[in-house]
Chain A
């Protein structure tokens, strides 16, 4: 048994599938999320370190 067909044309496409079918949206999320959580947050912490007198 195999469901080798897309769900398109069989009613509304689920939100999750719409997301996964959007390469450019995934690209924005995939670049934006680590940029904010890893790089920007990390840099903010470094910048906040007090300068030695």
Chain B
């Protein structure tokens, strides 16, 4: 029989199993963010030519660990917490299959540690992509497989909780949008994990000597179904967080629940197909396959993102105007709680994800334009614009609400927390821009030394490329300080935070409604400020897209 407690801040009935599992998954996520972040800092300081911190062997080791720990472990552990929160707590249901949920936690932990040990041993520096014929030790692949099986169990628990919540009528009508967004993430996660199994199980057997060889192109096609889709899980989860934060802070409902759900449907149908943009310069795959998967299907997923990019700020504007912030186009935005890290993290995540991660992703997903930047520093620049300033910042913003609420503790360093999203967003946003700048100048990704000091054939990059890599190092340091403040605040709050004072009266419990707990729309489209901002975004999008066609035309002169 499930036991519940009532959250004094929100009035939510919280299943104690879900409570514990959310806490354990969230704390573990933050630990791996710390580990992966430190490796990332070492990578950035090595790629800063004037510092060049690590030797070649250590650099590739750090790069492998950085990719695995932040792209997979940090994000997916946090997403497990999010799946349990959005299914059990938001739907007011008990968590289904709690023993399976604990198996999820333990398998993911064993897998994450196993892969980290393999990497730290120094014989598995194959980077996150682990392209064959580079071979890692068997425990490197086995760790990832165990981690993925754990994540799959988490998805099973999530869907089972949706089932019992519906069966027990714990909510009315359709499920709320935040849970729907989390469900989108879970669906993409199932595809991601199954694809990972299809390619990593034979790769494990190959590393153990049971299989003679694995075709390189076959590996890349199937691996990217896992590798890129795992980042699409992040995008869906991050957007669910945006809707949740809008509901938590402003009691905001989406402008149109139907339109927002359709945008998530576009993700379910098309987002995983964008994996093909990693293979746009690979011979052996037809243009039909490449262009259908990227320039047709991917654009429908992009349409979904642009809908969310309009409806999330639109929901905030509608809610703010309802509260009386009606002066001019932007009073609703000026009067937003910019000193609250939940809001500032959310707002920066929304803007930086759109401008840095979104626009550049569309450019790279165009077959013709992809050739300009393929395998250059532009690529990590792009995905730091999605996974770092988009997903990670959104998860940080969510944590500033979730951790004090679930643990019932005051934030340890509220003054530092006010500045943290700006520091992290600015630092990592600039790092993303400088990496893309260096990539545009031709600097390769993953390379330990752009001066090619010992190479038989050298290439002289322009001085601006060296400057970009140096600025990237400085920006990563600033972002690293922001990341450290976040971790300090979370660890401090969980272990040493002051207990919250109990609420004096039930009337003080705020109404957390909107998209978080109910199905429904704001019932208005009168959001002129949001439409102006959307037009600014679209103008930037169009200009940047066509500038790259101009840039492409300069690569091959016709006369």
Does the CB pair A41–B289 fall under 8 Å?
yes
Does the CB pair A30–B159 fall under 8 Å?
no
Residues of chain B lying within 8 A (CB to CB) of residue A45? 284-286, 289
Bound complex: CA A42 to CA B218 (Å): 8
B524 at the interface (CB under 8 A from A): yes
CB distance from A10 to the nearest CB of B (A): 10
CB closest chain-B residue, reference A19: B265
Residues of chain A lying within 8 A (CB to CB) of residue B265? 19-20, 26
In A15-53, the 8 Å CB interface with B consists of: 16-17, 19-21, 23-24, 26-27, 29-31, 33-35, 37-39, 41-43, 45-46, 49
Q: Beta-carbon contacts of B144-181 to A below 8 Å, as 1s and 0s?
A: 00000000000000010011000000001111000010
Task: Choose among B180, B262, B520 the residue that contacts A5 (Cβ–Cβ < 8 A).
Answer: B520
Task: Choose among B175, B194, B258, B521 the residue that contacts A2 (Cβ–Cβ < 8 A).
Answer: B521
Residues of chain A lying within 8 A (CB to CB) of residue B172? 5-6
Does the CB pair A1–B524 fall under 8 Å?
yes
CB distance from A19 to the nearest CB of B (A): 8
Contact size class for A?
20 to 34
B10 at the interface (CB under 8 A from A): no
State whether A30 and B268 are in contact (beta carbons under 8 Å apart), knowing that A20-B180, A37-B292 are contacts in the complex. Answer: yes
State whether A26 and B183 are in contact (beta carbons under 8 Å apart), knowing that A5-B172, A43-B218 are contacts in the complex. Answer: yes
Does the CB pair B159–A27 fall under 8 Å?
yes
Bound complex: CA A4 to CA B215 (Å): 53
CB closest chain-A residue, reference B519: A6
Residues of chain A lying within 8 A (CB to CB) of residue B532? none
Task: Choose among A17, A34, A43, A49 the residue that contacts B174 (Cβ–Cβ < 8 A).
Answer: A17
Does the CB pair B222–A31 fall under 8 Å?
no
CB closest chain-A residue, reference B176: A4
State whether A4 and B180 are in contact (beta carbons under 8 Å apart), knowing that A23-B162, A31-B191, A38-B276 are contacts in the complex. Answer: no
Residues of chain B lying within 8 A (CB to CB) of residue A20? 174, 180, 261-262, 265
Does the CB pair B173–A46 fall under 8 Å?
no
CB closest chain-B residue, reference A49: B284
B269 at the interface (CB under 8 A from A): yes
CB closest chain-A residue, reference B194: A31
Bound complex: CA A16 to CA B269 (Å): 14
In B519-547, the 8 Å CB interface with A consists of: 519-524
Residues of chain A lying within 8 A (CB to CB) of residue B269? 29-30, 33
Residues of chain A lying within 8 A (CB to CB) of residue B183? 23, 26
CB distance from A51 to the nearest CB of B (A): 11
Bound complex: CA A18 to CA B403 (Å): 35
Does the CB pair A4–B253 fall under 8 Å?
yes
Bound complex: CA A23 to CA B522 (Å): 24
B548 at the interface (CB under 8 A from A): no
CB distance from B270 to the nearest CB of A (A): 8
B115 at the interface (CB under 8 A from A): no
B217 at the interface (CB under 8 A from A): yes
CB distance from A35 to the nearest CB of B (A): 7
The 8 A-B pairs with the shortest beta carbon distances in the complex, nearest first, are: A6-B173, A4-B520, A30-B187, A34-B272, A1-B523, A30-B268, A42-B221, A31-B191
Q: B residues bordering A, Cβ < 8 Å?
A: 159, 162-163, 172-175, 180, 183-184, 187-188, 190-191, 194-195, 198, 215, 217-218, 221-222, 225, 229, 253, 258, 261-262, 265, 268-270, 272-273, 275-276, 279, 284-286, 289, 292-293, 297, 518-524
Interchain Cβ contacts under 8 Å between A and B, 21 examples = A1-B523, A2-B520, A3-B523, A4-B518, A4-B519, A5-B173, A19-B265, A20-B174, A26-B183, A30-B187, A30-B190, A31-B190, A34-B275, A37-B273, A38-B272, A38-B273, A38-B276, A39-B222, A39-B225, A42-B285, A46-B221
Other A-B pairs beyond A7-B173, A38-B273, 16, CB < 8 Å: A16-B258, A20-B262, A20-B265, A23-B162, A23-B163, A23-B183, A29-B269, A30-B184, A30-B268, A34-B272, A35-B194, A38-B276, A39-B198, A45-B289, A46-B221, A46-B284
